[in-house]
């Protein structure tokens, strides 16, 4: 597909959104809903996408995608409201924003801070979208050259890297979570020989465990338990005043924006790593490279811009591996993958062959969603901020009901609920014990891909493992996997520390 064709497809989708009042209504509605979801502490972008998946199930793919991406973009941005107004981040992605957003609000500049986050988030999403357009077709093209060897290694690498980065404690815990996800994925009849595996005699398990109820359970139930058990309270919100999009400050901070957006896209493209890590890394980098690092934490603009640009740019980054390889880049993208599968779209290298314009459709929606987010943010922020007064005890029970009906409605199986609740409770305990949830989810999603491709690869090679080292891409992936494992071991970390110590003393 040449550049002109791509551009015309992109513009065509843009026009189709702009000229359809119902789609525009859906776009603005879901984006505002996303902002509300993000703003309310305890509700996350993942949960928003999860709950909307059920409601958009009966819609056509286009409108469903508009609403899902709308809520995703809105929720990642909306998290900053809580950070700025009450010093409680609406989502984990906005935690870094609180460091400078809240002090700014205390100085009576809440409107300026929200104006900055709105503009930074808008620009971040736009940069992310640009990378989706440019890199997804390239990676898809490269991935078409992959065989089962590479796909198995890619799936395994996704689980490993997600486990390594998202773990709050020992790296082994992240990997175990990933392996547990893989285990959940193999439950059911095996796809090659139809042999029932780990079904424990339950006929309902023969078809395998459905991904969406697992995702809703793993992300929704722990959130509900945590918020209600740990008595999440709302604080008195600061006065917001007029939301001012300060373009002067934005232009002055263009280098920060570019760097933060690149960090956001890069981290987003790593499987299973979400917007929160992107925001923290970007904030840390901005502070380390600043001429006035002492101003960070006192309400400085660079801090706000760094975290908010990165977390929204991460959305585009997360879409790149999702669309090109079928590997979600972040937890909300994992949920989006579940939704796409429900709509009969299988993201991966073949997507670019079967539906060559799909990437441009996603990009056009991202562009429109970021515009909707910007307009809604500037106009509605003072109203949305009022919702911060609503105590979580009022809305969390409703979220619980939505999680339940959502899990049930997708397959019309009450058994999905029977599975979702224990998985949710288990995920809660895993979180308490330092086992991260994203690798588990990535494992559930990539398990089938890893299983099928491992066996297919060995069938092709008639049981030989040699192609893993003779095929260049497979070898490269294998080396990266080995490097990831080695660099995560405590022996390596001790040696590295000793080496650094020696370097410093000499």
Partner 1 sequence: MMDKSKLRGADFITSLFLIAFGVWILVQAFQMPMKDTYGGVVNVWYVSPALFPLFIGIGIILLALNILVHALKTGGYQVFREFLLTKKKVHITEKGYRFLAILVPLLSLVYMNLPRIDFFLSILMFLLFFIPVFYFDDFPLLKKLLVFYSIEMGVLFLLFLTGIDRTLTRSFRYTLDILTLGLIMALYLFIRSCIGGQEDYRRKLRHALLISILTPLFLVPVFRFFLRVPLPKEGGIVDLLFILYYAIR
Q: What is the largest CA-CA distance in the chain?
A: 70
Decide if 13 contacts 361 (C-beta within 8 A). Answer: yes
Q: Does 418 bind partner 1 (CB under 8 A)?
A: yes
Which string of x and - marks every residue 433-452 that binds partner 1 (by CB under 8 A)?
xx---------------xx-
State the DSSP string of 78-90. HHHHHHHHHSS-S
* Of 374 and 468, CB closest to partner 1: 468
Residue count at the site for partner 1 (CB under 8 A)?
A: 62
Q: Does 423 bind partner 1 (CB under 8 A)?
A: no
Site for partner 1 in 260-279 (CB under 8 A): none
Q: Does 343 bind partner 1 (CB under 8 A)?
A: no
Q: Does 286 bind partner 1 (CB under 8 A)?
A: no
CB of 393 to partner 1, least distance (A): 4
Residues contacting residue 413 through CB under 8 Å, at least 6 positions apart: 204, 210
What gap in Å lies between CA 205 and CA 189, rounded to an integer? 8
* Of 174 and 303, CB closest to partner 1: 174
What gap in Å lies between CA 266 and CA 353, rounded to an integer? 25
Contacting partner 1 (CB under 8 A), which of 1, 144, 168, 482? 168
Which string of x and - marks every residue 30-69 that binds partner 1 (by CB under 8 A)?
------------------------xx-xx-----------
Contacting partner 1 (CB under 8 A), which of 51, 92, 114, 224? 224
List Cα–Cα distances, 99 to 23, 240, 277, 280, 302, in angstroms.
Answer: 37, 17, 15, 11, 11
CB of 225 to partner 1, least distance (A): 5
Site for partner 1 in 74-113 (CB under 8 A): none
Q: Does 202 bind partner 1 (CB under 8 A)?
A: no
User: What is the SS3 assignment for 197?
Assistant: strand
Decide if 212 contacts 337 (C-beta within 8 A). Answer: no
Contacting partner 1 (CB under 8 A), which of 25, 397, 469, 494? 397
Stretch that binds partner 1, among 61-69, 70-78, 388-396, 495-503 (CB under 8 A): 388-396
End-to-end CA distance of the chain: 56
Contacting partner 1 (CB under 8 A), which of 454, 473, 475, 480? 454
Contacting partner 1 (CB under 8 A), which of 14, 142, 458, 481? 458
User: What is the SS3 assignment for 189?
Assistant: strand
What gap in Å lies between CA 506 and CA 499, rounded to an integer? 11
Comparing CA positions, the residue from 219, 15, 43, 45 lying closest to residue 125 is 45
Q: Does 175 bind partner 1 (CB under 8 A)?
A: yes
Comparing CA positions, the residue from 36, 171, 123, 183 lying closest to residue 485 is 171
State the DSSP string of 235-254. -PPPP-------HHHHHHTH
Q: Does 417 bind partner 1 (CB under 8 A)?
A: yes
* Of 15 and 459, CB closest to partner 1: 459
Contacting partner 1 (CB under 8 A), which of 229, 236, 291, 502? 229
Which string of x and - marks every residue 126-165 that binds partner 1 (by CB under 8 A)?
----------------------------------------
Residues contacting residue 4 through CB under 8 Å, at least 6 positions apart: none
What gap in Å lies between CA 271 and CA 297, rounded to an integer? 30
Phi and psi, residue 489, nearest 5°: -75, 155
Query: Partners of 196 in the beta sheet?
Result: 189
CB of 30 to partner 1, least distance (A): 15
Q: Does 186 bind partner 1 (CB under 8 A)?
A: yes
The rounded radius of gyration (Å) of the Cα atoms in the chain is 22
What gap in Å lies between CA 354 and CA 352, rounded to an integer? 6
Stretch that binds partner 1, among 137-145, 188-196, 263-271, 326-334 (CB under 8 A): 188-196
* Of 346 and 414, CB closest to partner 1: 414
Q: Does 426 bind partner 1 (CB under 8 A)?
A: no
Phi and psi, residue 323, nearest 5°: -80, -35
The Cβ of residue 143 has, within 10 Å, a number of other Cβ atoms equal to: 20
The contact set with partner 1 (CB under 8 A) reads 54-55, 57-58, 168-170, 172-173, 175-176, 179-180, 182-183, 186, 190, 192-195, 197-198, 221, 224-225, 228-231, 391, 393-394, 396-398, 400-402, 404-405, 408-409, 412, 414, 417-418, 421, 425, 431-434, 450-451, 454-455, 458-459, 462-463, 490
């Amino acid at each position: 597909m040449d550049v002109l064709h791509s551009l015309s497809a992109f513009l065509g989708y843009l026009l189709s959104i702009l000229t359809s009042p119902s789609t525009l209504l859906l776009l603005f509605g879901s984006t505002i809903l996303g902002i509300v979801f993000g703003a309310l502490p305890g509700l996350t972008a993942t949960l928003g996408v999860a709950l909307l998946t059920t409601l958009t199930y009966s819609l056509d793919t286009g409108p469903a995608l508009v609403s899902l991406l709308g809520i995703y973009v809105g929720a990642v941005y909306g998290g900053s409201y809580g950070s700025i107004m009450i010093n409680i981040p609406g989502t984990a992605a906005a935690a870094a924003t609180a460091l400078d957003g809240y002090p700014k609000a205390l100085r009576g500049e809440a409107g300026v801070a929200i104006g900055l986050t709105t503009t930074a988030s808008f620009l971040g999403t736009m940069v992310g979208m640009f990378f989706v357009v440019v890199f997804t077709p390239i990676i898809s093209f490269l991935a078409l050259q992959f065989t089962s060897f590479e796909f198995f290694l890619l799936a395994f690498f996704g689980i490993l890297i997600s486990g390594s980065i998202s773990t709050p404690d020992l790296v082994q815990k992240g990997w175990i979570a990933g392996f547990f996800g893989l285990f959940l994925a193999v439950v059911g009849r095996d796809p090659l020989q139809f042999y029932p595996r780990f079904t424990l005699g339950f006929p309902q398990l023969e078809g395998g465990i459905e991904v969406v109820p697992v995702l809703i359970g793993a992300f929704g139930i722990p959130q509900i338990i945590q918020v209600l058990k740990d008595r999440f309270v709302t604080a008195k919100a600061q006065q917001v005043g007029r939301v001012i999009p300060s373009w002067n400050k934005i232009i002055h901070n263009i280098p920060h924006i570019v760097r933060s957006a690149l960090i956001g896209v890069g981290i987003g493209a790593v499987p299973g790593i979400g917007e929160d890590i992107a925001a923290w890394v970007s904030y840390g980098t901005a502070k380390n490279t600043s001429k006035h690092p002492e101003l960070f934490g006192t309400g400085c603009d660079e801090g706000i811009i760094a975290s908010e640009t990165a977390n929204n740019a991460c959305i585009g980054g997360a879409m790149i591996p999702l669309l090109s390889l079928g590997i979600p880049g972040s937890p909300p993208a994992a949920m989006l993958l579940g939704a796409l599968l429900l709509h009969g779209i299988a993201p991966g290298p073949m997507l670019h062959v079967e539906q060559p314009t799909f990437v441009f459709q996603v990009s056009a929606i991202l562009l429109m969603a970021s515009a909707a987010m910007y307009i809604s943010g500037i106009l509605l922020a003072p109203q949305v901020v009022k919702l911060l007064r609503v105590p979580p005890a009022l809305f969390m029970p409703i979220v619980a009901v939505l999680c339940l009906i959502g899990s049930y409605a997708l397959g019309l199986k009450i058994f999905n609920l029977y599975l979702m609740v224990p998985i949710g409770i288990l995920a809660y305990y895993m979180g308490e014990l330092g086992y991260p949830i994203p690798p588990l989810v990535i494992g559930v999603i990539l398990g089938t891909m890893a299983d099928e491709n491992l066996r297919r690869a060995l069938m092709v090679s008639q049981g030989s493992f040699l192609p893993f080292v003779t095929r260049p891409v497979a070898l490269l992936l294998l080396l990266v996997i080995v490097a990831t494992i080695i660099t995560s071991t405590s022996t390596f970390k001790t040696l590295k520390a000793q080496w650094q110590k020696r370097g410093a003393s000499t």
